[in-house]
Amino acid sequence: MKKINGNVTTPKGFQASGVMAGIRKKNRKDIALVYSEADCVAGATFTTNRVKAAPVNWDISILRNGLSKHAVVLNSGIANACMGEQGVKDNFAFAEAVAKELNLKPEQVFTASTGVIGQPMPMQVILPGIQEAAKALSDTNEGGKNASEAIMTTDTVSKTVACELTIGETKVMIGGMSKGSGMIHPNMATMLSVVTTDINIDEALLQEAVSAAVKDTFNMISVDRDTSTNDTFIVLANGLAGNEKIVTKDKAYEEFAAALFAVCEDLAKKMAHDGEGATKLLTCEIYNAKSKEDARVLAKSVISSNLVKAAFFGSDANWGRVLCALGYSGVDFDPTKVDITIAQEKDKLDIVKNGMAIDYSEEVATMMLSKDNVSFVVDMHDGAFDATAWGCDLTYDYVKINGDYRS
């Protein structure tokens, strides 16, 4: 498996577009469409927030309806959340308009929305926008790029990835896009993400691969400890690569699952790095925890801590905050066994041994923490399980962005 330059249009048979409908702001792409004329099987995960947006409930209802899937339509600007029956009607109209343009049934179209909660969808501009998006569909890299830009809200960069792998003697492609910068603390979902692939695979096995990949990628990032009402991750597979259909968890399945994991990890890290107001990517690597779940919880607790994130912004090696975050995670461990190391590329600096500070250079620690991508490496000395989580620093700009998000 190798990563290549590409996006959701890289796999065979997929087209995409991104257009400006004027949902909240003019001169900004805000409707994205991803489409395969060939029948697709789908795998997906969604937010576990009890307050779910209309498109999330729609997608859950159609995921296993027995129909082939062909499209995902997404909008930015308005979340279509907490809008009652009107939100349900608007979301159906969203799917129905795509179905009409592409000669599909509405139940073959996934929907996704992101933006302000509690405001109505401006259907008077969305419906013409869908017509434009359908006309603009393209299998070019530009089509995928436009789609990735159309789902951005406070994101500063679009997020795409692609890879190729060989199943038997057949070349298979996977491409993806995601958005996410704030309200990022996924739980069994992402923010908004669509991945396409031309692999031929059983739908139940695709779902297993999707669910497995999410656990240690999208679910291991946090920007602000807020799980969105709209988190949606959808994978479409149209089988056009022509490989022998994957129907068991054999070598071909494992190779695909590993590639899908790599795509999800790439997108997850890009979202964490582009957290609202963020200047740096923070990684926490937990080693030798008592269980895999303990390792996940510990790593996520560190990168989610506002005090750790604030110290990271100030390049302050305040290791006590790291130990504190481990301590309130709910995991049972012996604090007197914990070692903490700062790692930045090939450079490493031990700062805590057996739960206490050792003699280290504050100047060197500050210099390392001022870099773009830094890790806290934590050895629990309590078992044989590892996990990694990704977050970002907490800056003044985060408060500014969220203080006037609706204006």
Catalytic site positions = 190
pLDDT in the model for residue 227: 74
Choose among 62, 389, 13, 18: nearest CA to 175: 13
pLDDT in the model for residue 64: 96
- Residues 6 or more apart whose CB falls under 8 angstroms from that of 251 comprise none
Strands (E), 23-98: 31-46, 69-78
Angle 43-213-221 from CA coordinates, rounded to 5°: 115
Residues of the chain falling short of pLDDT 50: none
pLDDT in the model for residue 275: 83
pLDDT in the model for residue 29: 97
The residue written with tokens 């062909």 in the block is: 70
pTM > 0.85: yes
Tokens of 224: 């602000």
Which stretches within 216-279 are classed as H helix? 251-273
pLDDT in the model for residue 405: 62
On whether the CB atoms of residues 209 and 174 are closer than 8 A, the answer is no
> H/E/C letters for each residue in 378-400?
EECCCCCEEEEEEEECCCHHHHH
pLDDT in the model for residue 186: 73
pLDDT in the model for residue 189: 60
